[in-house]
Amino acid sequence: MASTAELDFTRSDGGQENSEIHFSISRKQLLIRLIKNKIFSLLTLGIYRFWAKTHVRRILWHGVSIQNDRLEYIGRAKELFIGFLIAMIILMPIMLAAGLITDLLAVAGPDPLVVGQVMNFVFLYFFWQFARYRLWRYRLSRTSWRGIRFFLTGSGFKYASYVLLWTIATVVTLGWAYPWQQAFRLNYQLNNTQFGDTWFTYQGTAKGLFQIYWPAILVTQIVLGIFGFYLYSVDAFGLSAEATPILNEDVFSSDPYAGWIMGIGGLVVFLTLSVLAFAVRVWEFRYLVEKTNFATARFSSTLTIRSILSIFLLLLVLGFVGYFGFAAAIYYLLILASDAGIFILMIGFLIAYIAYDIIKMLFLIVPLVEAVCKSIEISNIEAFEHAAASARKSPKYGEGFADALDVGAF
């Protein structure tokens, strides 16, 4: 269980905003917990991560209050650990069989190997989606408010199967089927969610999501089309003997500007797609909130791009500074080629490992949760008070496949 100190929450503004949902935690105590988690995970070779997740979730869940009553995370680290072991027992033979088939196809030639790699990717993608659904099913079943739990019903296998089919359709249509893919995700997840004995209902449509996504899809196709045509025209990539894409080094030797063009072009593509993804996610969130009901309760969100843009800009600056600073340090230490330089390099990697998740949690996840909670408004919130506890059974064990496939941020 988390200690009393870990659940001692403070606010810097001295009060709460005029909204039914609030989020307030002590960043100092969260920072201390994150550092402890990293140290203990290193000392136990990663085994402690199940307990680390549990501690962080208790802090984050307890930071959310609805009508002055906080959420509670009642999951246990033991459940996560046992679920992980069960998943590994199931996945290990499957992964070994997939690797053996890939090796046999490699002997047959490059074409069968490509087919095998595609099938392997499809298989992993299916399991990733299956794990994602079971992850949310477990987390909701271990979330309670005023002693009443949330639940997620439905079939993880059905969810993963339909998402896989819609993903294939999205690839075939060059992205135009993506709104229908998202429509299925939201419909299936939200309409299978309940609080106590009462269900949430989602009334969004693929048409509504299409109106949000079509400009982003069109711009993405144009940007990727231009950049892809350039790469094809200069023959920048080829295939190795293992049928994997490799960089054509002759392009750089014959054209000294090719590297700069590819680098700057890649950066432009990355920034463009990042901005588009950022914008449509905000619009999609507002849409799904407004289309979701709980009995007679209605939801709305005032979340705007501007309200959370500073979060991503700060994280982007920190990422660039950290990346270039670390790259420069590695370069100079390798030039030294001394035992002291190698030792310093190892310490640097250790610090980076510890700092990555801490920075992501403190500067991305926590500010995002704050902004989202602040933006949500609920009308007729009394509907939640009328919900009674459900006799539905919860999953016995944790997010086994999600832990095995490293699905989920925390």
Alpha-helical segments (H) within 63-109: 77-108
Q: What is the pLDDT of residue 101?
A: 74
Q: What is the pLDDT of residue 17?
A: 42
312 vs 51, higher pLDDT: 51
Q: Per-residue confidence at 33, pLDDT binned at 50, 70, 90?
A: very high
| 30 pLDDT above the threshold of 60 | yes
Q: What is the pLDDT of residue 357?
A: 80
Rounded Cα–Cα distance for residues 88 and 45 (Å): 17
Q: What is the pLDDT of residue 145?
A: 92
Q: What is the pLDDT of residue 322?
A: 67
356 vs 48, higher pLDDT: 48
| 367 pLDDT above the threshold of 50 | yes
Tokens in use for 57? 């979730």
- The Cα-based distances of 206 to 188, 211, 374 in angstroms read 13, 9, 27
Name residues whose C-beta falls within 8 Å of residue 56's C-beta, 6 or more positions apart in sequence.
30, 33, 34, 37, 361, 410
Q: Which of 107-121, 175-189, 273-287 has the highest mean pLDDT?
A: 175-189
Q: How many CB atoms are closer than 10 A to CB 357?
A: 18
| 58 pLDDT above the threshold of 70 | yes
Range of weakest confidence among 44-58, 68-82, 312-326? 312-326
Rounded Cα–Cα distance for residues 392 and 193 (Å): 12
| 7 pLDDT above the threshold of 60 | no
Residue reference for tokens 């500067």: 363
Q: What is the pLDDT of residue 4?
A: 37
Q: What mean pLDDT do residues 57-84 have? A: 90
- pLDDT tens digit sequence for 245-301: 666 666 666 666 666 777 777 778 887 888 888 889 999 999 999 999 999 999 999
| 392 pLDDT above the threshold of 90 | no
24 vs 272, higher pLDDT: 24
Residue reference for tokens 């990727």: 224
Q: Per-residue confidence at 404, pLDDT binned at 50, 70, 90?
A: very low
307 vs 159, higher pLDDT: 159
Q: What is the pLDDT of residue 300?
A: 93
Range of weakest confidence among 130-144, 219-233, 289-303, 386-400? 386-400
Burial of 239 (0-12, 13-18, 19+ CB in 10 A): exposed
Burial of 230 (0-12, 13-18, 19+ CB in 10 A): middle
Q: Per-residue confidence at 206, pLDDT binned at 50, 70, 90?
A: very high
- pLDDT tens digit sequence for 93-107: 877 777 777 667 666
Q: What is the pLDDT of residue 313?
A: 78
Q: What is the pLDDT of residue 13?
A: 41
Q: What is the pLDDT of residue 20?
A: 75
Q: What is the pLDDT of residue 237?
A: 64
Tokens in use for 333? 């230490």
Which neighbouring-strand residues pair with 66?
21, 69
Q: How many CB atoms are closer than 10 A to CB 194?
A: 19
Name residues whose C-beta falls within 8 Å of residue 60's C-beta, 6 or more positions apart in sequence.
25, 73, 365, 366, 369, 410
Q: What is the pLDDT of residue 5?
A: 36
356 vs 35, higher pLDDT: 35
Tokens in use for 303? 């979340």
Q: What is the pLDDT of residue 225?
A: 86
Rounded Cα–Cα distance for residues 378 and 294 (Å): 10
Name residues whose C-beta falls within 8 Å of residue 189's C-beta, 6 or more positions apart in sequence.
133, 136, 152, 154, 159
- In the chain, % of residues over pLDDT 90: 35
| 46 pLDDT above the threshold of 80 | yes
348 vs 152, higher pLDDT: 152
Q: Which of 64-68, 92-96, 231-235, 323-327 has the highest mean pLDDT?
A: 64-68
394 vs 52, higher pLDDT: 52
Rounded Cα–Cα distance for residues 384 and 149 (Å): 12
Range of weakest confidence among 64-73, 230-239, 349-358? 230-239
| 10 pLDDT above the threshold of 50 | no
Average pLDDT, the chain: 80
Range of weakest confidence among 11-25, 60-74, 281-295, 370-384? 11-25
